[in-house]
Amino acid sequence: MTDLGQIGVAVDGARIFNDYEDRERQVVALNDNVVHDHAAFVDECNGHPLGDGTTYHYHGIPTCLSDEIDVDGEHSFMIGVLQDGFPVYANRGEGGATVTNADLDECGGHMGVTPEFPMASITTF
């Protein structure tokens, strides 16, 4: 499990944080990292600035970004990279099928081909 703070960076330059807002893991920024739950501290892009108004960051799929670059019926395009080097995608897998938590391994990864990596690789959703 990741700590609070930056765990990656999106292709638009915004930081990617995990989906929790506190160390006790009681306040989740998003519902399952897929659906925006309209929490007051998360905007329509699933992000917000830090409490001091600096460092805008995402807590899940940046829907403003993925909605612009993804194509219906196709695998999501890469939206970022985690600090361990793994690519990050929205929630569309091969053929545009929705990837759910049940499809992910214990580390939140999934093995398969992507637009950027046509040979099978591990990806994070």
Residue 15 within any structural domain of the chain:
no
Torsion of CA 29, 82, 61, 23, to 10 degrees: 0
> Among residues 111, 108, 114, which one has the least CA distance to residue 122?
111
The reported pLDDT for the residue numbered 31 is: 46
Please give the tally of structural domains in the chain: 1
Residue 119 within any structural domain of the chain:
yes
The reported pLDDT for the residue numbered 55 is: 84
Residue 81 within any structural domain of the chain:
yes
Give the mean pLDDT per block of 10 residues along the chain (125 residues): 79 85 54 43 80 82 90 93 90 90 83 80 56
The reported pLDDT for the residue numbered 26 is: 54
What pTM does this model have?
A: 0.74
> Among residues 9, 10, 30, which one has the least CA distance to residue 20?
30
